[in-house]
Amino acid sequence: MKINVNKIDNLFINYKKSEKTAFIPFISIGDPDIKTSFEIAKVLISNGADMIELGYPFSDPMADGKVIQKSYERALKNRVSMADAFNFIERLREISEIPVIFFTYYNPIFAYNPSKFAEKASAVGIDGVLVVDLPPEESDELKKFTDEENLDQIFLLAPTSDISRIKLVASYAKGFVYYVSVTGVTGARKSLPAEMRSKVNEIKKIKDIPVGIGFGISNPEQVKEIKNYADAIIIGSKIIQFIEDNLNDKKNIIKNIAEFSYSIKSSLM
């Protein structure tokens, strides 16, 4: 197996040196439409995103709460295909070098063909792939191809993960470990469990790998606390809520997301 340092690794190496925590916003490709979602990605990047997680909409998003479910439904109405998603990322690459994480469920990748997927994903400039319903046990079918293309397959850990799961996931993990802050689906929460910190420490004791925290994070106050021990924070539903709330006013979507992104980035400084 080749061992290459890619853009995700580089970012975390640099941030570790300067003791910074990365901001990773999540949006769905094609919500509310392809053009606007591209504008949203741009404005997130110009307002502080260090990395971006792009969701490829699936019809049955079982790990997602209402906000992201509706986001996918809107995107699916626009008939976003894998070719559209790759084109989106290709165009994003023309204006930005930040790492891109491709987020989805396994069936769209399986239907497209895992080998062809990994090849194209790498060609258009994707750096990491997160498949939420693909635990290490089932991941080999895709991982053999993502490894070949030097794409990081990102794995998750959760509050329910015991030491044996942490060890298993750590042995598969590349790029960073995505720690799910709550026992639940995606969606903004006012309060987050206190055990996050000890869990992150537990993971880091097993393997010296960056840990990003996502699911539920919604405001700068939470971010200020989490940045003390996490290498990245991931925010999705809270950003997508701005789309849902302003469907008739696309300018307002952009404005709100720009302001929010800036406030998060500021709280990480």
Partner 1 sequence: MKYPDNKGHYGEYGGRYISETLMPAILELEEFYKKIKNNKEFKDEFKGYLKNYAGRPTPLYFASRLSELYSSDIYLKREDLNHTGSHKLNNTLGQALLAVKMGKKRIIAETGAGQHGVATATVCALFGLECEVFMGTKDIERQKQNVLRMEVLGAKVTPVDAGSSTLKDAMNEAIRDWITNVRTTYYMIGTAAGPHPYPEIVRDFQSVIGKEVLKQIDKFPDILIACIGGGSNAIGLFHPFLKYKEVKMYGVEAGGLGLETGKHAASISGGKPGVLHGNKTYLLQDEDGRIKEAHSIAAGLDYPGVGPEHSFFADKKRIIYDTVTDKEAINAFKLLCKLEGIIPAIESSHAVAYLEKIKDEIKGKTIIINLSGRGDKDIDTIANYLSQS
Binding site for partner 1 (CB under 8 A): 58-65, 69, 76, 81-82, 105-112, 132-135, 137-138, 155-162, 165, 169, 180, 183-185
Nearer to partner 1, 69 or 222 (CB): 69
* Least separation in angstroms between CB 12 and partner 1: 21
* Least separation in angstroms between CB 133 and partner 1: 5
* Least separation in angstroms between CB 89 and partner 1: 16
Query: CA 47 to CA 106: how far, in whole Å?
Result: 31
Query: CA 215 to CA 67: how far, in whole Å?
Result: 12
Nearer to partner 1, 174 or 227 (CB): 174
Helix then strand then coil, % of the chain, to nearest 5: 50, 15, 35
Q: What angle do CA 241, 245, 249 make, to 5 degrees?
A: 125
Nearer to partner 1, 64 or 127 (CB): 64
* Least separation in angstroms between CB 69 and partner 1: 7
Nearer to partner 1, 47 or 181 (CB): 181
Q: Is 53 a catalytic residue?
A: yes
- Which residue out of 53, 127, 152, 231 is catalytically annotated? 53
Query: CA 213 to CA 199: how far, in whole Å?
Result: 11
CB hemisphere CA count around 165 (13 angstroms): 12
DSSP state of 184: S
Nearer to partner 1, 110 or 262 (CB): 110
Q: Is 231 a catalytic residue?
A: no
Residue positions counted in the chain: 269
- Residue 59: name the closest of 106, 102, 101, 115 by CA: 106
Q: Is 183 exposed, middle or buried (0-12, 13-18, 19+ CB in 10 A)?
A: exposed
- Which residue out of 9, 50, 64, 231 is catalytically annotated? 64
* Least separation in angstroms between CB 5 and partner 1: 26
The residues annotated with a catalytic role in the active site are 53, 64
